[in-house]
């Protein structure tokens, strides 16, 4: 499947008339194909973007999917994708594009091309919260086997996040969080899936807590706590992310019986993110 990673946003540059310049960057995940174009801010519109995408298509056939990491340009790409028959995939995992952006702006001190405005974390909706939660750990060699063959309604285990594909030894402990959702278990799992989980991090308070990073910039407060034992377990949870190369997991299940599961997600922060 052909994929392009794309960005279209203003840069700290101006033309001779003092207009702010916008830059369009397109690349495939290997950066064998790249395309760039500059647009004065007064000309930024869907027609200009469509013309540039069609120009890029003279060098490389239009992709089936275009990945966008910047919320501010998502809407215009969605409009262009609809007209060109390209699926738009909002995702933080645009490593090739982000590396290219950093390389291009390395000589602009104080400018961070990956900086995104992020709303403050908000609590998980009360009507979704389950009975309780806990930290968990599984050896890398058992992680896939433990969940891949179970009849789990929502199972997110991408190939690129499998321990073997990350080069993890089978004995490396993979940290995770289990939420016992009770009667809300399936509803919570569907909500989590729609938010597109990326990472679940321990944040030092007060109070301490677990914050879910999801979508492009969203953050959700999953739990807060002041208990010293829970805080110690949370520190261990974060420490185990070092040997696991950031890999961790989230499980939602109705109860502690281990008979049924509602959702499972392998999580790992993108290599280039804020």
40: CATH: 3.30.420.10
Whether residue 141 is found in the same domain as residue 259: yes
**Of 107, 87, 110, which Cα lies nearest the Cα of 4?**
87
Residues 62 and 150 in one domain: no
**Residues with Cβ within 8 Å of residue 258, at least 6 apart in sequence:** none
Going from the C-alpha of 247 to that of each of 94, 138, 154, 175, 191, the distances in angstroms are 18, 11, 19, 8, 22
Does residue 146 fall inside a structural domain? yes
Residue 126: per-residue pLDDT:
80
The pLDDT value recorded for residue 228 is 94
Are residue 52 and residue 163 in the same domain, yes or no?
Answer: no
Assess whether 145 and 18 both reside in one domain: no
pLDDT of residue 127: 82
The answer to whether residue 156 is domain-embedded is yes
Distance between CA atoms of 225 and 216, rounded to whole angstroms?
26
Omega before 207 cis (within 30°)? yes
Q: Tell whether 273 is covered by a domain.
A: no
pLDDT tens digits along 134-191: 999 999 999 999 998 889 999 999 999 999 999 999 999 999 999 999 999 999 999 9
Residues 259 and 148 in one domain: yes
Indicate whether 114 belongs to any domain.
Answer: no
Domain count for the chain: 2
Residues 254 and 143 in one domain: yes
In a domain, 111, yes or no: no
Q: Mark whether 42 and 165 lie in a shared domain.
A: no
Final residue in a domain of this structure, among 73, 104, 135:
104
183 and 66 within one domain = no
Same domain membership, residue 210 and residue 157: yes
In-domain check, residue 60? yes
Residues 242, 143 share a domain:
yes
75 and 149 in a single domain? The answer is no
Residues 61 and 146 in one domain: no
Q: Which residue range(s) make up the domain with 82?
A: 3-104
144 falls within a domain: yes
pLDDT at 16: 79
- Of the three residues 48, 77, 104, the one that is the final residue of a domain is 104
Mean pLDDT split into 10-residue runs, the chain, 274 residues: 96 85 97 97 96 97 98 98 98 96 90 92 86 94 90 95 96 97 94 96 94 96 94 98 97 91 96 50
């Amino acid at each position: 499947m052909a994929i392009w990673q794309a960005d279209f946003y203003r840069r700290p540059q101006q033309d001779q008339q003092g207009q702010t310049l916008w830059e369009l960057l397109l690349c495939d995940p290997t950066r064998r194909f790249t395309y760039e174009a500059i647009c004065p801010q007064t000309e930024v519109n869907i027609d200009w973007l469509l013309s540039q995408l069609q120009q890029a298509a003279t060098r490389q056939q239009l992709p089936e999917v275009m990945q966008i990491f910047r919320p501010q340009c998502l809407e215009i790409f969605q409009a262009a994708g609809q007209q060109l028959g390209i699926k738009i995939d909002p995702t933080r995992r645009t490593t090739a594009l982000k590396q290219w952006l950093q390389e291009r702006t390395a000589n602009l001190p104080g400018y961070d091309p990956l900086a995104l405005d992020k709303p403050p974390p908000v609590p998980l909706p009360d009507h979704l919260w389950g009975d309780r939660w806990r930290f968990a750990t599984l050896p890398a060699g058992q992680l896939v086997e433990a969940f891949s063959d179970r009849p789990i309604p929502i199972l997110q285990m991408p190939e690129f996040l499998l321990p073997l594909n990350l080069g993890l030894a089978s004995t490396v402990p993979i940290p995770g969080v289990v939420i016992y959702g009770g009667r809300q278990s399936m509803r919570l799992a569907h909500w989590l899936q729609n938010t597109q989980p990326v990472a679940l991090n321990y944040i030092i308070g007060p109070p301490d807590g677990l914050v879910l990073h999801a979508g492009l910039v969203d953050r959700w407060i999953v739990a807060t706590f002041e208990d010293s034992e829970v805080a110690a377990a949370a520190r261990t949870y974060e420490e185990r992310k070092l040997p696991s190369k950031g890999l961790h997991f989230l499980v939602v299940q109705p109860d502690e019986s281990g008979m049924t599961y509602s959702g499972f997600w392998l999580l790992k922060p993108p290599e280039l993110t804020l």
